[in-house]
Amino acid sequence: MSITATDDIQTGPRRRRGISRDVCADLAALLQIVIVTSAAVAATPFATLVTLPDGMVTEPRLIALCAVGFLTSLVYTEALRQGGYFRFDQLIDSWGTVRGVVWRFGLIMLSFVAACYSLGLTQFLSRGWLIAWALMGGGSVVVSRFVMARILRSLSKAGGLLCRRLVFVGNPSRTHFFSARAVSTETSVEIVRSYEPENLEAPDTPDFLGLQRMVEGGMVDDIIVCPRGDDTDKSLAKLLDQLRQLPVHVSLGPHPLWVQRTGRTESIGKVPTYVVQRRPISGWDTFTKMLEDRILSFLMLLALSPVMLACAIAVRLDSKGPIFFVQRRQGMAGDIFPIMKFRSMRVMEDGDDVKQATKDDDRITKVGAFLRKTSLDELPQLINVLRGQMSLVGPRPHALKHDAYYSKLIKDYAARHRVKPGMTGWAQVNGFRGETNEPEKMEARLKCDLEYIENWSLWFDLRILVLTVKAVLKPENAY
């Protein structure tokens, strides 16, 4: 067990992205299925030592025995899941869980034998196979729990892929008290840093910018707010709204305002917390979306390369200037990246000198007008997706000047940066695209963006991609 406090975290190396503990639990469950099924397969030679009732061991019967082993492994794994044996704290507690794991395995085996007798299926059983399966399966289950516990404890040490890195927000006495209680004897927790609330209440304070960079670098997993007993709901709400834009788990420590809230609670070490915000698109969803982006963007680049080549030639012949328009945009957790488009204007604006395109804008070239109307100017962003800077689907990235303006004007605007920006989004297929010359238009767009973030699924993404094709064929507000 170790605690590491880091005050000058910006000088350190970027941390490798960790592994979700939920993913570990699913992998452990899959391993149990493989182990129990493999034991059934490995035990099949013993079916000839104590033979089946008719003295014959045929291939169909061996296949049936293996199938029985697989079905039993599913029942056993679900029994462990229902008993909480795949929770991370249980996975690393080998000695504390071995009795329950073995007892459930024995109970499942006895239930299986009893069911066969009651259904008159004993003619399909081999006592030799059954005894060998019970011994090999039970022993393998016990050994696997000890091996898993050792590996997971190693990975959860300070700096490991499963280490939970925390940031505390509160006055020094409160953060010191709760950080000490957050450390458990079973898992390593790194206390990255603590902040005082007043230093994080504005997006341009040095402390908040530093926290944002740490989150961007994958150096923070959880933020725990430790309010004083006399903190008001208004002051807490202001702080939580500011933290809401960060793509991390945010929890509220013990506070009287808990009684006014309903929702999920959890414990971090010995600290009971109320979950204010869960990291969006986490666990297996992160892997799923990454595969979706990489595979589809690669296939789209291959399929659309002739179209992109034609667009590039048209831009070059139409007007003087570069083929690509490159502008800085804000990505996930405040990460600044260069977005790529086919140039559609005679100007190359960036930074503070950016003006939104309007209807009949004289800056737009003839070819550019066609590219913008058909959204072909966005195709180079497939390269941004392959680089991992963007996603196929997500909130559309805006110019830095507009981000700064709307973040001060509209509550929760910055929360759209909790996920990667997208080439298309839920807002765009619902008609909220083009010029946002009124705050109400941006608020409507933001509402769709936040709805997408809170309800993400692979099918939601695929639905948006299909609707995007329809929107491109019948463009509205595209200029």
CA distance linking residue 89 with residue 364, whole number of Å:
59
- Strands 189-195, 164-169: parallel, antiparallel or unpaired by DSSP? parallel
Handedness of CA 298, 299, 302, 307 (dihedral sign): negative
User: Do the domain assignments include residue 219?
Assistant: yes
Total number of domains in the chain? 3
Residue 198 lies in a domain: yes
Total H helices, total E strands in the chain: 15, 10
Q: Please give the C-alpha separations between residue 245 and each of 51, 119, 148, 197, in angstroms, as whole numbers.
A: 66, 59, 36, 16
What CATH number is given to the structural domain containing 173? 3.40.50.720
Q: Is 396 helix (H, G, I), strand (E, B) or coil?
A: coil
Q: In 3D, which of 270, 89, 273, 275 has the Cα closest to residue 180? A: 270
Same-domain check for residues 255 and 107? no
> Rounded distance, CA 139 to CA 134, Å?
8
- 303 shares its domain with 384: yes
End of a domain among 155, 189, 216?
Answer: 155
Distance from C-alpha of 264 to C-alpha of 395, rounded to nearest angstrom: 27
- Report d(CA 189, CA 253) in Å as an integer: 17
Please list, in sequence order, all residues whose beta carbon lies within 8 angstroms of the beta carbon of residue 471, skipping any fewer than 6 positions away: 428, 429, 433
Residue 479 domain-assigned (yes or no): no
CB count, 10 Å around CB of 419?
23
pLDDT at position 18, please?
A: 62
Residue type, 451: E
Residue 127 sits in the same domain as residue 199: no
Q: Are residues 261 and 307 in the same domain?
A: no
242 lies in the same domain as 291:
no
428-458 pLDDT, tens digit each = 999 887 777 778 888 999 999 999 999 999 9
Say whether both 318 and 421 belong to one domain.
Answer: yes
Instruction: From 277, 304, 320, give the residue that closes a domain.
Output: 277
Q: State pTM to two decimals.
A: 0.77
Q: What is d(CA 271, CA 211) in angstroms, rounded to the nearest whole number?
A: 22
212/297 same-domain check: no
What is the separation of C-alpha 420 from the centre of its chain, rounded to a whole number of angstroms?
11
At 82, which amino acid appears?
A: Q
Per-residue model confidence (pLDDT) at position 456: 93
304, burial (CB in 10 Å: exposed 0-12, middle 13-18, buried 19+): middle
Residue 68 lies in a domain: yes
Q: In the 8-state DSSP scheme, what is residue 321?
A: S
Amino acid letter for position 28: A
| 441: number of Cβ within 10 Å | 15
* Closest of 349, 460, 348 to residue 394, by C-alpha: 460
How is 125-192 classified by DSSP, letter by letter?
--HHHHHHHHHHHHHHHHHHHHHHHHHHHHHTSTTSTT-EEEEEES-HHHHHHHHHHH--SSS-EEEE
Measured CA distances, 16 to 159, 211, 353 (Å): 9, 17, 36
Tell me the residue range of the domain where 225 lies: 9-16+160-277
Gap between the terminal Cα atoms of the chain: 58
Residue 3 lies in a domain: no
Give domain status of residue 465, yes or no: yes
Residue 294 within any structural domain of the chain = yes
What kind and span of H or E run contains 470?
helix 458-473
Residues 281-297 as b or e (16 or more Cβ within 10 Å = b): bebebeeebeebbeebb
- Determine the Cα–Cα distance for residues 329 and 478; give it in Å rounded to an integer: 20
Domain check: are 418 and 382 in the same one? Answer: yes
What parts of the chain have a pLDDT lower than 50?
1-16, 55, 185-186
Burial class (CB in 10 A: 0-12, 13-18, 19+), 158: middle
**If DSSP codes are grouped into helix, strand and coil, which group holds residue 425?**
coil
Final residue belonging to a domain, choices 231, 251, 277: 277
Q: What does the pLDDT read at residue 366?
A: 87
CA–CA dist 184, 161 (Å, integer): 17
User: CA–CA separation, 405 vs 409, rounded Å?
Assistant: 6
Half-sphere CA count of 462, side-chain side, radius 13 A = 6
392 and 448 fall within a common domain: yes
Identify whether the C-beta of residue 39 lies closer than 8 Å to the C-beta of residue 72: no
pLDDT at 165: 85
Asked if 301 and 420 sit in the same domain, the reply is: yes
Determine, yes or no, domain membership for 478: no
* 436 and 355 together in one domain: yes
Residues pairing with 399 in the sheet: 329
460 and 320 in a common domain: yes
- Residue with token string 């406090």: 5
